[in-house]
């Protein structure tokens, strides 16, 4: 079959050459032949030109498509690189902002020695009500040490290992902090309540009815606390109302720290009972 195709192609080629030669001879005798050949050759040449042009365009389009695909792949790779770089830069900016905030907190409470730590785990749930940090007894961390972040008090150390410590946040149901109004010194109790914290609040109770604690007052840790060092900001008083006993008032606290996404904290390496020296030299 292939051999026959070669013969047919060769025959057609010879026929075309013969027609071209016939139309090239300038003779009145061949004029009718040239005319007839023209009717055959011109459409044939047009067909050949059309096929050739189509093939050329197809080859050119295929080449352009291949180049476009290569360029598209290159641009996609570059886009992926730029996206990764942008994400990395955003993460670095976010971390820098957090560290600046932590540094400002350190400067605000310069009277206390502190150790910076990173949060490495937390209990199940939406918030950091019990979490673990990457510093432990080897770094001078002891139980009952106060922990700060986000502008104020976060919680207290409850368990310590060689290279880690567990912190119970003040939003935990088992947490109670003795507080006071920074403006007047009147005392109150700040209670953790995970249900209440769904609204971003802590409990505020045991406020004497005649006490001058008002909406918006800064509530800090008081001097009478057994564990918490004095003067650490907890949050702002809100929604104070008189209790049913008509003797005390209660309300809520808007905490200054964000317990939705804790990443770095400061641990105050000083105990309320004055055990700083022991904390720095455990054992």
DSSP for 146-184 reads: EEEETTEEEEEEEEE-SS-EEEEETTSTT-EEEEEETTT
25: confidence class by pLDDT, cuts 50, 70, 90: low
Place of tokens 């920074």: 182
How far is Cα 90 from Cα 98, in angstroms, rounded to an integer? 12
- Please say whether the beta carbons of 259 and 129 come within 8 A: yes
With pLDDT > 90 as the criterion, what percentage of the chain qualifies? 52
Instruction: Residue 73: count other Cβ atoms within 10 Å of its Cβ.
Output: 10
| Global confidence as pTM | 0.65
Mean pLDDT of 85-111: 70
More confident residue, 205 or 9: 205
DSSP assignment letter at 19? H
Q: How confident is the model at residue 54 (pLDDT cuts 50, 70, 90)?
A: low
Band of residue 282 on the pLDDT scale cut at 50, 70, 90: very low
Q: How high does pLDDT run on average in the chain?
A: 81
**Which burial class, exposed, middle or buried, applies to 98 when counting CB atoms under 10 A from its CB (0-12, 13-18, 19+)?**
middle
Residue that wins the pLDDT comparison between 275 and 212? 212
């Amino acid at each position: 079959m292939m051999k026959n195709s070669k013969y047919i192609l060769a025959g057609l080629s010879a026929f075309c050459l013969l027609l071209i030669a016939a139309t090239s001879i300038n003779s009145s005798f061949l004029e009718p032949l040239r005319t007839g050949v023209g009717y055959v050759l011109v459409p044939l040449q047009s067909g050949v030109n059309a096929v050739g042009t189509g093939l050329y365009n197809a080859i050119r389009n295929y080449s352009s498509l291949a180049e476009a695909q290569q360029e598209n792949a290159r641009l996609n790779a570059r886009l992926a690189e730029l996206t990764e770089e942008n994400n990395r830069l955003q993460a670095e900016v976010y971390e820098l902002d957090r560290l600046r905030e932590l540094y400002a907190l350190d400067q605000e409470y310069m009277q206390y020695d502190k150790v910076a730590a990173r949060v490495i785990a937390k209990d199940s749930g939406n918030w950091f009500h019990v979490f673990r940090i990457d510093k432990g007894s080897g770094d001078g961390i002891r139980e009952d040490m106060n922990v700060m972040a986000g502008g104020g008090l976060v919680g207290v150390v409850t368990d310590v290992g060689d290279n880690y410590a567990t912190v119970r946040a003040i939003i935990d149901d088992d947490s109670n902090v003795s507080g006071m109004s920074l403006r007047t010194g009147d005392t109150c109790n700040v209670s953790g309540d995970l249900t209440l914290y769904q609204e971003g609040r802590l409990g505020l109770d045991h406020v004497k009815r005649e006490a001058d604690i008002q909406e918006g007052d800064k509530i800090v840790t008081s001097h009478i606390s057994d564990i918490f060092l004095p003067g650490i900001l907890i949050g702002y008083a809100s929604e104070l109302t008189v209790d049913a006993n008509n003797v005390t008032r209660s309300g809520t606290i808007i905490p200054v720290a964000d317990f939705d996404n804790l990443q770095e904290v400061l641990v105050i390496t000083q105990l309320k009972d004055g055990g700083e020296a022991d904390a720095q030299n455990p054992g």
